[in-house]
Structure 1
Amino acid sequence: MSDPELSTFASAEALAGEVTALNAACRLADGAEAFNEDTMLSLAERSGVALRGSEGELLGLALVRQDGDDAHELELAVSPGARGRGHGRQLAETFLKDAEEAGRTARAWAHGDGSPARGLAEALGMREERLLLKLAATLDPSIHGLPQGGPRIVAFTMDRLDEVLEVNRRAFAHHPEQGSLDRDGFLARTREAWWSPERLLLAFSADDRVIGFHWLKVTEDEAEVYVVAVDPATAGRGIGRALMHAGLAHLFEEAHERVVLYVDGDNTPAVKLYRSLGFEDAHRDVRWEYPARHS
């Protein structure tokens, strides 16, 4: 039997079918997808390495994107049937070597923070750099009903898109993935099966400016608080809480029983708000980092 072969590619777009199948297999085996939504929507922007068996079958895949000007970010998956053979380490070491030769910091996501991923990251000398929490709550009208007062909140219309993108940019200026959402990225999401303008709720100021929004995502599997953004200029006025109540009340009216959301573990104000609304830990994603070595 021949050894598995590594091959590099400049764009993962041509591998879209294989990436989708591998992602689905990982979700079935692990309870978490190996590649996040942003990756799946922009495969053309991902380079990487594929590991294939003697019959050309995909054993593992490393997808890489440039994160800012000084880092490479990795998402890695090994087919459930090919695990325990060192394939994950081989792919990770190839990624680290490429990042080091380019003089870039290497970052890698472990979706689910399972012990194998944690053990591999620690063995490779990586450090935990970012924690992404998945929180969940059971919808309860006594907690999640729509309170009186607060800003006017109505459903999205396309004539407000530029305002929504600007609020998003300002609210997530510190968040490279979400803060970089542009018109093309937004429109790509509107082509997804889960999109509904009725589930993108906008909050308005007294002079009819968009000052925040709550974007809900509902799939066959779950209802999600997809994005909550408030213009920093209006922070501290209860806009975020009002938007949360409006969105959760909307989901309750649609007869959903449970809702999830993702939030950075160090976003203390947001975590405090969500926990006050009954959200509890359901899942953890960790981003690991290996610093660049400069000669």
Structure 2
Amino acid sequence: MAKTESLRPEQLSQVLQVVEAASATDGVTALSDSTLSQLNSSAKDNFEGSTKDNVGEDAGSIHLLSHSGDEIVGYGYLAAGVGELVVHPTYRRRGLGRQLAEEAIAAAKHRGAGELRLWAHGQLPGAVRLAEVLGFWPVRTLWQLRRPLSVESTQLDELKVAAGIRLRRFQPGSDEDVWLALNRRAFAGHPEQGRWELSDVIARYNEPWFDAEGFLLAERVADQRLLGFHWTKISRDGPHRGVGEVYVLGVDPQAHGTGLGRALLVAGLRYLAHHGCVQAMLYLDADNTAAARLYYKLDFTKTDIDVQYARST
């Protein structure tokens, strides 16, 4: 087992291969979007000739590597007391997952974290058993919701935007600061989304799926104040290939109760349908009942769950 604060380019390449193999076998993305964005951004820097000897660097992060000979067959990522683990399907049932988890516990403790949280994507049986054996307990649940898409859907014809509000596309290079301010207002208190910084936005620009045309903003005409947004995502590969995602949907608290959330949702779904997506998906915290009501009204249904487990270090 190796532990490092950064990855060499050849290590990063092998880690991405492990992630791809696990995602294809399990039918769920093996790592969270934030972790994948950081790794993919590092891979892009390397491809374009970055002069860095080490990539995959993130302040305070730790990379855990499990090897079979010279080959990386297991990977763990840990930052701020939250981590993720993935083992290549060929090398499972050999105790590698447990070794990665135990190393993550030790690393979190060494960093002064009193608690470690690990995500289990797709609630796979092996991950559930490992959590139980190591004394983790579930602390957070994300639902995956889906619905079919069609350009003929009558539901998607009902795009009602309040007077004085217009929808427009996100403009890279000019909208970052105002969008980040809106995002902080819309997701105040959220454990991840509300903490986004400019570097997080830039990392998404490096993703193969990024398209500003699918990043919709709701703007008040009178003073150009942003009141809401719907950032869509169309995956080009992996288990969600061709599926349109409600990547992030947010509304300024000042605009709650005005129907703006529904209007932005419908506008984004129409965009996805007209770009060839036959299904839409999203992730939702299980305790977000207000948002759940909106999605259920538009025929989304629960299809899968991700669970975050915790234990003291």
Q: TM-score, normalised by structure 2?
A: 0.85
Q: What root-mean-square deviation, in Å, do the aligned CA atoms of Structure 1 and Structure 2 show?
A: 1.7
Cα distance in 2 between the residues matched to 1:276 and 1:13: 48
The residue number in structure 1 matching 2:247 is: 226
State the AA in 2 paired with 1:143.
Q
Q: Give 1:110-259 correspondences, 5 Å limit.
A: 110-140=120-150, 141-150=153-162, 151-158=165-172, 159-207=174-222, 208-220=224-236, 221=241, 222-259=243-280
Alpha carbons of 1:61 and 1:149: their partners in 2 closer, same or farther (altered >3 Å)? closer
Equivalent of 1:96 in 100, 105, 112: 105
How far residue 196 of structure 1 moved from its aligned partner, in angstroms, is 1.6
The CA distance in 2 between the partners of 1:210 and 1:13, in whole Å, is 41
Q: Which residue of 2 aligns with 1:44?
A: 57
CA contact (8 A) 1:52 1:58 kept: yes
Cα separation, 2, equivalents of 1:152 and 1:75:
40
Contact 1:145 1:248 in 2 (8 A): no
Question: Does residue 1:284 correspond to 2:313, yes or no?
Answer: no
1: CA distance, partners of 2:208 / 2:300: 26
Q: Secondary structure at the match of 1:147?
A: coil
Q: What one-letter code is carried by the residue in structure 2 that aligns with 1:41?
A: S
CA offsets, 1:83-102, max 9 Å, x none?
11111111111222332343
| Counterpart residue type for residue 156 of structure 2 | H
Shift of 1:231: 0.8
In 2, Cα distance between equivalents of 1:169 and 1:100: 30
Q: 1:83 aligns with which of 81, 88, 92?
A: 92
Residue ranges of structure 2 left out of the alignment (5+ in a row): 39-55
Kindly tell me the number of residue pairs found equivalent between the two proteins.
281
Does the 8 Å CA contact 1:13/1:44 hold for their aligned counterparts? no
Please list every run of 5 or more consecutive structure 1 residues that lacks an aligned counterpart in the other structure.
1-5, 67-71
Work out the CA distance in 2 between the residues paired with 1:265 and 1:218: 23
Partner in structure 2 of residue 8 of structure 1: 3
Q: After TM superposition, give the deviation of residue 161 of structure 1 in Å.
A: 2.5
| 1:266 corresponds to which of 284, 287, 291 | 287
| TM-score, with length taken from structure 1 | 0.90
**Aligned-residue identity in percent:** 35
Q: Distance in 2 between matches of 1:284 and 1:103?
A: 26
Alignment partner of 1:49: what SS?
strand
